[in-house]
A and B are shown apart, each in its own frame.
Chain A
Amino acid sequence: MTDALATSSAAPDASSASARARAVAYLAERHRLQIWEALPWGLALAAFWLFPDRLTFGSQVLVMVLFALSLDLILGFAGIVTLGQAAYFGVGAYTVGLLAAHLNWGEPISGLFAAAAVAGAVGSATGFVLLRYRGLTLLVLTLATAIMLQELGNLFPRLTGGYDGLPGLVFAPLFGVFDYDLYGRVNYLYVLGVLFVLFWLVRRIVYSPFGQTLAGIRENVGRMHAIGSPVRLRLVVVYTIAAAISGVAGALFTQTNAYVTLGVFDFDNSAGVMVMLILGGTGRLYGAFVGAVIYMVLQDYLSKESQQYWHFGIGLLLVLTVLFARRGLLGLFEDAGAFLRRNPKP
């Protein structure tokens, strides 16, 4: 309105009409696949050929991308601030771990479904209770949920192996055909495939009317209540979906490592995945890719030097991100792009 008043009297109609047309075009087009969206997948495949001896590490990165993606769904799109997403990652990880260790159920794909079902069930049960709260109470409750699950695992050491975890798990070949090789080639492609399928799912969710409701809840929860949207139900549903995806990430973690320990429930894990997402940028799907890759590569590189360098580096990066790049690295790229468009080179 203020813009319209500032310009001449004839201009507002034309400019607001064209602005509206642009907005409509944006809304109608934004879910379409863009050409650059092939880039991360191309890079992931290129990495398969370029770094044949680092594929085990590569699988770990892809697992964390998936984990960060699940967090993006609730943190970036629904605006739920949680410090305990490792709870569901851990539940998924232990689901396949326990099945393989005690029931000899080592078939990987059905293991993923089992992990998703169990983590989703835990997510919906905890989410039903937790999502009534906000602020510090929610932070503390989510944090406590993860620690309680960890302590619960520690209560039954005969089943879970306590803090030593479940080492030396055996998983069946993928589709009964592809056995796991020393270089992790099968694992890498397996994780990439699962990531692709779930990414497609998350992308569909985000651009669906359901996804729009989530954005509405994030931006203005009072207004969503006012227009009669079932806010709590929507939140529980998305929390459950995110928990199931986190569970799949945890299951992949166990399957690719062939072991699992109670460390998966650590605060470090919950905080780490949040840091990844923030570095990349929340609420933009591909932020999970950028953030997880940067975080894991930095960790790999700096931890070789010394653990302290890594902790200091990630702490500093986090502080700088919050102070100067609040929308993450992808946000920074966008800002730079917008700046260049506004001030084209002479």
Chain B
Amino acid sequence: MSPTANIIVSILFDGLAYAMFLFIVSVGLSVTMGLMGFVNLAHGAFAMAGGYIVLTAMRSWDMPFFLALVLTFVLVGAASVVFERTLYARLYKATELEQVLLTIGLAFMAIATFTYLYGPRPQSIALPAYLTGQIDGGFRTFPTYRVFVIAVGAALIAVLWYGFERTNIGAKIRAAVDNRRMAQSIGIDVDRLFTLTFAVGSGLAALGGGLAIQLFGLTPSFAVLYLVFFLLVVAVGGLGSLKGTLVAAILLGVCDTAGKYMFADAGGFFIYALAVLILLIKPAGLYGRD
């Protein structure tokens, strides 16, 4: 294989793994924002907490990686309901500014708490042997873990797509995103629906955080470091759109990876330029409603 083709394959492959991570974390944010218009800047903190739960489960309780991922999904999903009921629910009718401030405050507190518990240094975990090393793809090898992340992402996309498009609850969520008041007036309990999606979305963020440990390393500042990317994905994709989130995650993930491959120093610039360009042309995002 020629060197150029090799680089292109690398960019697409790494970009796709990155995109899956972005999608898994952002999809919950997109749907909850679409449903309630709630600006949740603490979403990154749920992902960060999820990462640390995986870490603790594997290190201290000797739990297998898969089980730890399931555990973090359940624990963070459950904990997020407590936050949603006690804090978030008070601010649904408040201004965007107040929502931003509350959730920045929560993110700061989460960072401080996890720095206190785990220290500021990056953490890593020991993966099971079958997830390390390389897989032979015929014409070249691929890192096994990234293949795994892409597979998990693809599986989740399938599950979410089914849940969104083919189940009763999914239909209710789509109805409520389209027109909340109309949905309420035909008897859909949007508040309960929101609590449910919030829990699932936060659980998915935690799962993404767990998957990210081996991709980027885990530090408490993860909560705000990647928040900008999650917000970019949600805004570019369009609020409440599963398809939009996926397209935006792939677009931004691949472009960011390409930028970093080709211009090591300036890689960060292009993803923002691209996102800003898209938003200037389509303010509501690629698949959002104006």
Q: Give min CB distance, B10 to chain A, whole Å.
A: 23
A319:B269 contact, CB within 8 angstroms: no
CA A156 to CA B52, docked complex, whole Å: 37
Look across to chain B and name the residue whose beta carbon is closest to the beta carbon of A321.
B101
Q: From DSSP, what is the main secondary structure of chain A's interface residues? A: helix
> Which B residues are in CB contact (< 8 Å) with A309?
112
* Any A CB within 8 A of the CB of B33: yes
Q: Give min CB distance, A242 to chain B, whole Å.
A: 16
CA A145 to CA B272, docked complex, whole Å: 8
> Which B residues are in CB contact (< 8 Å) with A151?
266, 268-269, 272
Chain A residues bordering chain B, tally (CB within 8 A): 43
B268:A147 contact, CB within 8 angstroms: yes
Instruction: List which B85-136 residues lie within 8 A (CB) of chain A.
Output: 87, 90-91, 94-98, 100-102, 104-113, 115-116
Contact with B235, one of A83, A136, A307, A318 (Cβ below 8 angstroms): A136
**Known: A278-B101, A315-B106. Is A144-B33 also a contact (CB below 8 A)?**
no
Stretch in B60-68, B170-178, B199-207, B279-287 with 4+ CB within 8 Å of A: B279-287
> Which B residues are in CB contact (< 8 Å) with A152?
269
A318:B108 contact, CB within 8 angstroms: yes
Contact with A140, one of B37, B115, B268, B275 (Cβ below 8 angstroms): B275
> Which B residues are in CB contact (< 8 Å) with A63?
none
Stretch in A29-37, A38-46, A127-135, A338-346 with 4+ CB within 8 Å of B: A127-135
> Which B residues are in CB contact (< 8 Å) with A56?
none
When A and B form their complex, what is the total count of cross-chain residue pairs whose Cβ atoms lie within 8 Å?
123
Q: From DSSP, what is the main secondary structure of chain B's interface residues? A: helix
CA A135 to CA B39, docked complex, whole Å: 9
CA A136 to CA B279, docked complex, whole Å: 11
Q: Mark A138-175, 1 if CB is under 8 A from B, else 0.
A: 01110111011001101101000000000000000000
Look across to chain A and name the residue whose beta carbon is closest to the beta carbon of B113.
A312
B109:A139 contact, CB within 8 angstroms: no
* Any B CB within 8 A of the CB of A81: yes
> Which B residues are in CB contact (< 8 Å) with A274?
101
* Any A CB within 8 A of the CB of B232: yes
* Any B CB within 8 A of the CB of A314: yes
B98:A322 contact, CB within 8 angstroms: yes
CA A20 to CA B228, docked complex, whole Å: 49
B33:A154 contact, CB within 8 angstroms: no
Q: Give min CB distance, B87 to chain A, whole Å.
A: 7
**Known: A143-B228, A154-B265, A308-B112. Is A318-B279 also a contact (CB below 8 A)?**
no
Look across to chain A and name the residue whose beta carbon is closest to the beta carbon of B288.
A137
> Which B residues are in CB contact (< 8 Å) with A148?
269, 272-273, 276
Look across to chain B and name the residue whose beta carbon is closest to the beta carbon of A320.
B105
**Known: A148-B269, A152-B269. Is A132-B231 also a contact (CB below 8 A)?**
no
> A residues near B, CB below 8 A?
75, 81, 83, 129, 132-133, 135-137, 139-141, 143-145, 147-148, 151-152, 154-155, 157, 267, 271, 274-275, 278, 307-312, 314-319, 321-323, 326
- With A137-B279, A139-B96, A144-B228 known, 7 other A-B pairs at CB within 8 A are A129-B280, A132-B283, A152-B269, A315-B105, A319-B105, A321-B101, A326-B94
> B residues near A, CB below 8 A?
33, 37, 39, 87, 90-91, 94-98, 100-102, 104-113, 115-116, 224, 228, 231-232, 234-235, 239, 265-266, 268-269, 272-273, 275-276, 279-280, 283-285
**Could you list 5 A-B pairs, sorted by A, with CB under 8 Å?**
A136-B239, A139-B39, A144-B272, A311-B109, A318-B101
